[in-house]
Amino acid sequence: MRLKKHGFWYHLLDVLFNIVVIVAIVAGIRTFLVSPFQVEGSSMVDTLTDKEYIIINKFAFLLGTPGRGDVVVFRPPNEPKKYYVKRVIGLPGDAVTIKNGFVFVKTPDEKDVTKLDESSYLSPRNLGHTFKHPPSSGDQTLVSYDVPEGKYFLLGDNRQGSLDSRSFTGENGEPEPFVQESEIKGRVWFIALPITKIHALEAPEYGL
């Protein structure tokens, strides 16, 4: 059997074609499936810490919607060009109340208000210390949020040091505590770096 010999340009085009295919595959994966991010700041300690690398699952929200307790990456209304990472607390139709340092939720299907059990992810410093804006104020005055359809209410796990739905504002400077579903880009799948902290994140069970 004789093999046909190809010239330089054929091999060059073959290499370029393979590069284009690889780049397209990587771009498709980053756009529709998974994407890496680096955490900045301390708003999610102890769950996530500064400079950790996380992998987000974008595909999850192509097929479904964010769930309560999911840690997500999103664009906030006050800084639409930046990415934030927080935890989903209120779903569309929920009534979220912050009272005496704790978070309470009333879902559309329930008559009673439920106090969220956040002990699995809030540190002793933050458990029972969720206050109205500003988060470090210690102000335990009751404040309620009725989450509109298509939007979500999010809080950082570092309740005394997180800019989140309690402090978001719109373009006009007025309070805008809710995040549009289309602005939630993916769920944090796992911590990738440092190696000593590699593990997957799972949403807690609230019993709601």
Looking at the annotation, which residues are catalytic? 43, 86
In the chain, the amino acid numbered 95 is: A
- Token pair 């505590």 is found at 177
CA 164 to chain centre: 11
**Amino acid letter at 46?**
D
DSSP 2-29: PPPP--HHHHHHHHHHHHHHHHHHHHHH
SS3 132: coil
Rounded Cα distance between 24 and 38, Å, is 23
Quick check: 89 and 105 in contact, CB under 8 A?
yes
Tell me the C-alpha distance between 87 and 73, whole Å: 9
Could you give the C-alpha distances from 148 to 49, 75, 88, 97, 134, in angstroms and in order? Answer: 31, 17, 14, 14, 23
Which spans in 37-161 are helix H? 60-63
DSSP classification of residue 61: H
